[in-house]
Amino acid sequence: MEERLSAVLSPYEGRKDALIPILQKVQDELGYLPDDAMLEIAKTTGLPESRVYAVASFYAQFRFTPRGKHTIMVCRGTACHVRGAERILEETERSLGIVEGETTEDQKYTLETVACIGCCALAPCVMIDEDVEAKLTPQMVPEILSGRNE
Amino acid sequence: MSKVTLTIDGLQIPAKEGMTVLEAAQASGLYIPNLCNHPDLKPAGLCRVCVVKMDDWKIAISCKLPVKDGMVISTEDPEVQQIRKSTVELLVANHPMTCLTCEADGDCELQRVAHYVGITQENLNRYRRSVRSIPIDRSNPFFDFDHNKCILCGICVRTCDELQNINAIDYAQRGVDSIISTLANKPIAESRCESCGECVIRCPVAALAPKGAQEPMREVKSICSYCGVGCGVMLGVRGQKVVSVEGDRDNPVNKGSLCVKGRFGYRFINHPERLKTPLIKKNGTLEEASWDEALDLIAEKFSNSKGDKFAALASARITNEDNYLIQKFTRAVMGTNNIDHCARL
Amino acid sequence: MMNFTEIQEQARQEWDSLQSGSVPVIAVGTATCGRSAGALGVVQAFEEEMSEKGVEAHIVEVGCIGPCYAEPLVNITKPGRATVAYKNVTKKMVTEIVDNYLKGDDPLPHYTLGSFGEGTVENIPRILDTPSFKPQERRVFRNCGVIDPTNINHYIANEGYNGLSKALTMTQSEVVEEMKKSGLRGRGGGGFPAGRKWEAGLNAEGDQKYVVCNADEGDPGAFMDRAVIEGDPHSVLEGMIIAGYAIGADTGYIYVRAEYPLAIRRLERAIEQAHEKGFLGNNILGTDFSFDINIFPGAGAFVCGESTALTLSIEGKRGMPRVAPRPRTTEQGLYDKPTLLNNVKTFSSAPMIITRGAEWFASIGTEKSTGTAIFALTGKVNNCGLIEVPMGITLREIIYDIGGGVADGGRFKAVQTGGPSGGCLPESLLDTPIDYDSLDEAGSIMGSGGMVVMDEKTCMVDVARYFLDFTEIESCGQCVPCRLGTKQLLDILKDICAGKGKKGDIDLLIELSQSVHGGSVCGLGQTAANPVLTTIRYFRDEFEAHINDKCCPAKVCKPLISFRILEDKCAGCTLCAKSCPVNAISGEKKEVHVIDQGLCVQCGVCMEKCPKKFSAVECLSPKLPVAPKETTEVVA
Ligand SMILES: Cc1cc2nc3c(=O)[nH]c(=O)nc-3n(C[C@H](O)[C@H](O)[C@H](O)COP(=O)(O)O)c2cc1C
Ligand code: SF4
Ligand code: SF4
Ligand code: SF4
Ligand code: SF4
Ligand code: SF4
Ligand code: SF4
Ligand code: FES
Ligand code: FES
């Protein structure tokens, strides 16, 4: 991990203003932001450690625990809500046996909600990794999950 | 700085340009409820309790509002009252009400504003109460951090940043989950906190509270005995015992600031193992002796030790003047340059 | 380097040869919305079919065409004919279209939405004559769905960078003056006159100034900024460059939501191309004006759409809005330097204002709200999608003409505009004209353009709860009224939805809403209670039903509803029992089925599954008492 981290951080020596892009790059590389990585970011940029965490924990994009192989994001946007997003979320939770924000024990799926995927016209939607599944009904949930069952 | 006059609730009060309305009010002995303001820090404007109405139309917060000549301020306008009341009620509805067992009881800004706006049980009952239950961080040897009482005024964060330049703590998370935190919510003792306690004394509630402090019966003005800076302290005393220390705000040296030793290291004063008389080794054991005896012995030994076989190690706990004298004594009387000082280490 | 006339000439040739070439042009909408409906598969299918069958045609991937309900959308233009728009195209349809229309001459009318452009196609109505398109006026969307957004020449050939080249011959104040005359108001929600902001930017003192484009698009239900960037990224860049010239800035930032990866890629590509052509970089088009643009992907915080939070976020800080009194962003914004911050659509409107003039721009719309408004029309409406209409059109026209009315034959109940800062308007206000001031008066706001239609199956208390849930999560938390006020409002609304509402709750909601509005630091808190206040104002009876009668009239709030199988209608088909996720339904084949109220989680699946001809499941509110065991046996 250390090598991968220092490769990402090397161009940012002393760059206090670049904290958010740095956090994004580190998370891209490591999948999440381990404490040690945040300490290293603090050292590289010269920012206080508390500040690195203050910023990272403010933004929804950053995670502090490893994620599952697949990320399922159920849209909680307005259009999806009035078209039954809550039932999609409940069914997904039931199918995976976890609640929003958790990762399955086998590290396969992480379940999250998102404010809007921008496919409101095709509501309700779920984003699995980079793909959007649109116009869902609760009954379709097990099916779209099993499609990712490798 | 030019003088201005403003009107607060019909009273004309003087102020200086550059002051805020809150500062002007306080300087004239008027109370405007406030929670996140501290005279040593830049105003943050976050608690919204210091809300006022300006010139009959604009809602503003007095801690950030610069005074202007002829300005008319109301603190009792109905809109102001409503915002202030809701805000305080919201804080109270989310606060553990354990005042009687609380460190801050009697000296708590939240109590003060709650009392000022007049919180009734009936009003409070309308609210959905919710109090956090985060374990208290007791990792620091000198103070505890109870996030459940924290009102997120940010005074501690600003203190650690603006005054101490240490930045051990900051806001983390957001919204209702906001919390004052070190990196990854680690115990504060594992952060770069230097335990200066500056944040602790400024915390308006008991979220940051010294461990085992007692209310003194009287205060004694003194000088901190730890180092040559010579910070002014107010020792809180009960009977013959020092039970608390506060920085002396009137002292020009430290203006109220103290470091970890001066603020929290007072228990040695009444410690049973503290040396109160000189000890002289007689027949292999240390025995209590009088000062005369001890000084005589030192004089005798020093006279036999002039030159480079002598060395002096001075202490950081004495004043600059004393340190000067020691080096003068070592060089001029003892005839050696073997002089050092523990603060160099 | 070529001068602008040469650049234009080259671009036109490329565009013309595509448009009037001898092979058909197939334009597929492959913006995010198209992709999620399967557009990339459609592109692939066309490629495969055509190479297999030896058919020649140009495939162009274009941005969002607008009517998202019809995605994937494919526009086919055969030489000399009007363009035929195919809706909801599947791979199977691709085969048919290739065989019948590309190889043959049958446009397959039943697959089409209509036709547009010069010429006609037999049996296909002109789209622009349909009620759904007639009231629309595509200005900001002028190129979306028309050009290939990854090809700068397409943009240039369609008036692109004309505005910039013209602006560079004007003085800075002339550009600002033109913007002021246009009457354009900021499209980010607040509606502040853009020209006045540009003027303040020009007048601000400072040798370093910035231009920032707000593409954070946080309203959960709006996606037009994304569509503009994905479909016509150069229009945004051009607007920013013109703004940079007008105020004397040399650096621009685009703050884009991280959830928009395609938009970010499109912008990166566009910036690269603009550099190649000399529209960005040093000495733009041979003048001594230099300007560059950086992309800043946001990290997921709605409040960062607020201008001061946004600039702090670019600086690498927490997005906590600055507290007033504070200097304006145009005086002290990004890195405390004068900063001009506008929304995506505001910037993308600038080039056409400069090219075609302020009068042209102001010729549609109302006096105080000129130009067009863009909405993401979604929810329970037939034609979901992005629409662009002249300001002043009524809500009714949008929902019933353009939107084709309420979906699934439902009854209209409310329309929500302005997202979490906006409000819900009832049927009686459907004739409200769309403009900043009228919506404001009605208790809602124009906002960033989300427009969500709700039918009688939508519970208004639940809607208020939904929005508060959003603002509570998205509050930055620094000020007390917003941090704890949104939480308190949410807790009360949750209680009401759960049948635990108390007498006095409505009054407390109103009181707190006012305090949160008056006491909060930024626009998020100040407007957070709008959804509460408008739902109470227009749908108070629903709140009362929840609190007093423990009844959810829309039958949405689960703790207040029960599902029951009607003995006289149930045919014992077992479908419901098979699909109940918690096995709450028992019953033998061909016998009446029964729901165990103690087990049922009110998911509603049984009601959906029960065949229409039986319709044996009904939903009730208030709730049925949880049935004791014996009764179950008696019925069986
Ligand atoms: C909480 C909050 C969120 C906002 N979100 C956005 C947004 O996503 N996009 C946007 O353009 N403006 C947003 N705004 C408005 C901006 O603060 C700002 O007024 C706008 O971007 C200015 O551009 P305009 O003058 O072109 O409208 C938001 C404001 C607030 C208070
Ligand atoms: S901090 Fe203040 S209000 Fe809170 S429990 Fe202690 S004394 Fe009471
Ligand atoms: S005790 Fe001092 S160093 Fe530690 S957090 Fe408080 S102010 Fe900062
Ligand atoms: S710990 Fe005290 S000073 Fe710090 S934010 Fe909380 S209440 Fe304020
Ligand atoms: S109103 Fe809300 S979002 Fe705005 S500053 Fe206050 S807490 Fe933050
Ligand atoms: S509503 Fe859902 S949980 Fe209840 S009986 Fe029907 S299918 Fe089962
Ligand atoms: S689906 Fe309808 S008809 Fe069939 S068993 Fe269930 S309630 Fe009866
Ligand atoms: S509301 Fe779900 S995609 Fe926008
Ligand atoms: S004291 Fe003014 S807002 Fe807190």
Write the CATH number for B97. Answer: 3.10.20.740
Q: Give me the number of domains chain B comprises.
A: 3
Q: How far is A137 from chain C (nearest CA, A)?
A: 10
Boundary residue ending a domain (B119, B151, B181) = B119
pLDDT class of C636 with cuts at 50, 70, 90: very low
Boundary residue ending a domain (B213, B232, B259) = B213
Q: How far apart are CA B342 and CA C272, in angstroms?
A: 62
Q: What pLDDT digit, counting tens, does each position of C8-34 carry?
A: 999 999 999 998 888 999 999 999 888
Q: Which atom of ligand 9 is nearest to the CA of B34?
A: 1
What are chain C's domains?
4-129 (3.40.30.10), 161-362 (3.40.50.11540), 372-455 (3.10.20.600), 460-548 (1.20.1440.230), 561-630 (3.30.70.20)
| Nearest by CB: B182 against A50, A58, A64 | A50
pLDDT in the model for residue C635: 46
Q: How far apart are CA C165 and CA C284, in angstroms?
A: 9
Would the CB atoms of C481 and B177 count as touching at under 8 Å? no
Domain holding B110, by residue range, is 3-119
Instruction: Assess if residue B295 is contained within a domain.
Output: no
Q: Looking at the structure, do residues B113 and B9 belong to the same domain, yes or no? A: yes
Enumerate the H helices of chain A as residue ranges: 2-9, 19-30, 35-45, 49-58, 78-82, 85-96, 141-146
Instruction: Assess if residue B257 is contained within a domain.
Output: no
Is B53 in contact with B77 (CB distance < 8 Å)? Answer: yes
Respond yes or no on whether ipTM tops 0.90: yes
Would the CB atoms of A123 and C463 count as touching at under 8 Å? no
| Nearest by CB: C485 against B90, B130, B152 | B90
Range(s) of chain A covered by CATH 3.40.30.10: 70-146
Is A119 in contact with A125 (CB distance < 8 Å)? Answer: yes
Q: Does C512 touch chain B (CB under 8 A)?
A: yes
Q: What pLDDT digit, counting tens, does each position of C36-64 carry?
A: 888 999 999 999 999 999 999 999 999 98
Q: Looking at the structure, do residues B19 and B89 belong to the same domain, yes or no? A: yes
Chain C residues lying within 8 Å of A60, measured CB to CB: 299-301
Q: Does A99 touch chain B (CB under 8 A)?
A: no
Instruction: Assess if residue B256 is contained within a domain.
Output: no
Instruction: Assess if residue B228 is contained within a domain.
Output: no
Is C288 in contact with C319 (CB distance < 8 Å)? Answer: no
Would the CB atoms of C484 and B127 count as touching at under 8 Å? no
* Pocket (CB within 6 angstroms of ligand 3): B 156, 159-160, 164, 166, 168-169, 193-199
Paired tokens of B65: 């509002």
- Cα C585 to middle of ligand 6, angstroms: 7
Q: Looking at the structure, do residues B98 and B137 belong to the same domain, yes or no? A: no
Instruction: Assess if residue B227 is contained within a domain.
Output: no
Residue C212 has pLDDT above 70, yes or no: yes
Q: Is the CB of B63 under 6 A from ligand 9?
A: yes
- Cα C589 to middle of ligand 7, angstroms: 10
Q: Is the CB of C610 under 6 A from ligand 7?
A: yes
N-terminal to C-terminal alpha carbon distance within chain A: 26
Q: Which atom of ligand 7 is nearest to the CA of C592?
A: 8
- Cα B142 to middle of ligand 2, angstroms: 20
- Which among C393, C354, C355, C351 has a CA at the least distance from the CA of C374? C393
Mean pLDDT of all residues in C241-260? 95
Which ligand approaches the C-alpha of residue B64 most closely?
9
- Which among C451, C457, C524, C452 has a CA at the least distance from the CA of C486? C524
- CATH class for domain A70-146? alpha beta
In this structure, the number of other CB atoms found within 10 A of the CB of residue C436 comes to 21
Would the CB atoms of B167 and A52 count as touching at under 8 Å? no
Residue identifier of the C-alpha nearest atom 8 of ligand 2: B99
Q: Which atom of ligand 7 is nearest to the CA of C571?
A: 3
Mean pLDDT computed over every residue of chain C: 94
Q: What pLDDT digit, counting tens, does each position of C555-568 carry?
A: 999 999 999 999 99
Q: Looking at the structure, do residues B102 and B145 belong to the same domain, yes or no? A: no
Mean pLDDT of all residues in C176-205? 96
Q: Which of C343, C349, C475, when mutated, tests ligand 1's pocket best, judged by the most ligand atoms within 8 Å of its CB?
A: C343
Nearest-5° Cα angle at C289, C284 to C295: 70
Q: Which atom of ligand 2 is nearest to the CA of B206?
A: 1
Q: Looking at the structure, do residues B99 and B137 belong to the same domain, yes or no? A: no
Q: Is the CB of C200 under 6 A from ligand 1?
A: no
How far CA C233 is from CA of A53, C239, C374, in Å, comes to 34, 10, 17
Q: How far apart are CA C572 and CA C595, in angstroms?
A: 13
- Any bridge partners for residue C297, and if so which? C256
SS3 A68: coil
Q: Does B31 touch chain A (CB under 8 A)?
A: no
Q: What pLDDT digit, counting tens, does each position of B104-131 carry?
A: 999 999 999 999 999 999 999 999 999 9
Q: Looking at the structure, do residues B103 and B13 belong to the same domain, yes or no? A: yes
Chain B contact probe: residue of C515, C517, C532, C547 with most B CBs at under 10 A = C515
pLDDT in the model for residue C630: 55
Interstrand relation of B218-223 and C450-455 (parallel, antiparallel or unpaired): unpaired
- Cα B83 to middle of ligand 4, angstroms: 22
N-terminal to C-terminal alpha carbon distance within chain C: 87
Would the CB atoms of C519 and B48 count as touching at under 8 Å? yes
Q: Looking at the structure, do residues B106 and B177 belong to the same domain, yes or no? A: no
Q: Looking at the structure, do residues B163 and B190 belong to the same domain, yes or no? A: yes
pLDDT in the model for residue B1: 66
Which residue from C minimizes the CA distance to A92?
C581
Q: What pLDDT digit, counting tens, does each position of A92-133 carry?
A: 999 999 999 899 999 999 999 988 887 888 889 999 987 888
Instruction: Give φ, ψ of A54 to 5 degrees.
Output: -55, -45
Q: Which residues in chain B land under pLDDT 50?
A: 345
Q: Which of C570, C585, C608, when mutated, tests ligand 7's pocket best, judged by the most ligand atoms within 8 Å of its CB?
A: C570
- Cα B50 to middle of ligand 4, angstroms: 17
Q: What pLDDT digit, counting tens, does each position of C114-163 carry?
A: 999 888 888 888 988 888 999 999 999 999 999 999 999 999 999 999 99
pLDDT class of C241 with cuts at 50, 70, 90: very high
- Cα B23 to middle of ligand 5, angstroms: 25
- Which among C567, C562, C565 has a CA at the least distance from the CA of C625? C562
Mean pLDDT of all residues in C490-510? 97
Instruction: Assess if residue B273 is contained within a domain.
Output: no
Percentage of chain B with pLDDT > 90?
A: 91
Chain C residues lying within 8 Å of A125, measured CB to CB: 36
CB pairs under 8 A between A and C: 146
Residues counted in chain C: 636
Nearest-5° Cα angle at A37, A32 to A39: 135
Answer with the residue of higher pLDDT: B342 or C244.
Answer: C244
Which residue from C minimizes the CA distance to B170?
C318
Chain C residues lying within 8 Å of B177, measured CB to CB: 477
Would the CB atoms of A39 and B183 count as touching at under 8 Å? yes
Residue identifier of the C-alpha nearest atom 1 of ligand 7: C610
| Nearest by CB: C515 against B46, B87, B93 | B87
Paired tokens of C215: 């593409």
Peptide bond into C338 cis (omega under 30): no
Give me the tens of pLDDT residue by residue for chain A, a chain 150 residues long. Answer: 788 999 999 999 999 999 999 999 999 999 999 999 999 999 999 999 999 999 999 999 999 999 899 999 999 888 899 888 999 999 999 999 999 989 999 999 999 998 888 788 888 999 998 788 888 988 889 888 887 655
Q: Does B183 touch chain A (CB under 8 A)?
A: yes
Q: How far is B317 from chain C (nearest CA, A)?
A: 41
Q: How far is B175 from chain C (nearest CA, A)?
A: 4
| Nearest by CB: C466 against A20, A21, A81 | A81
Boundary residue ending a domain (B119, B142, B172) = B119
How far CA A131 is from CA of A70, C32, C36, C37, C256, in Å, comes to 11, 10, 7, 10, 20
Residue C632 has pLDDT above 70, yes or no: no
- Which among C38, C12, C22, C133 has a CA at the least distance from the CA of C77? C22
Q: Is the pTM of this model over 0.90?
A: yes
Q: Looking at the structure, do residues B103 and B12 belong to the same domain, yes or no? A: yes
SS3 C508: helix
Q: How far is B303 from chain A (nearest CA, A)?
A: 54
Mean pLDDT of all residues in C218-228? 90
Q: How far apart are CA C394 and CA C398, in angstroms?
A: 7
Nearest-5° Cα angle at C56, C52 to C61: 100
Instruction: Assess if residue B193 is contained within a domain.
Output: yes
- Which among C52, C36, C148 has a CA at the least distance from the CA of C94? C52
Report CA dihedral (C95, C97, C100, C105) to the nearest 10 degrees: -160
Q: Looking at the structure, do residues B205 and B313 belong to the same domain, yes or no? A: no
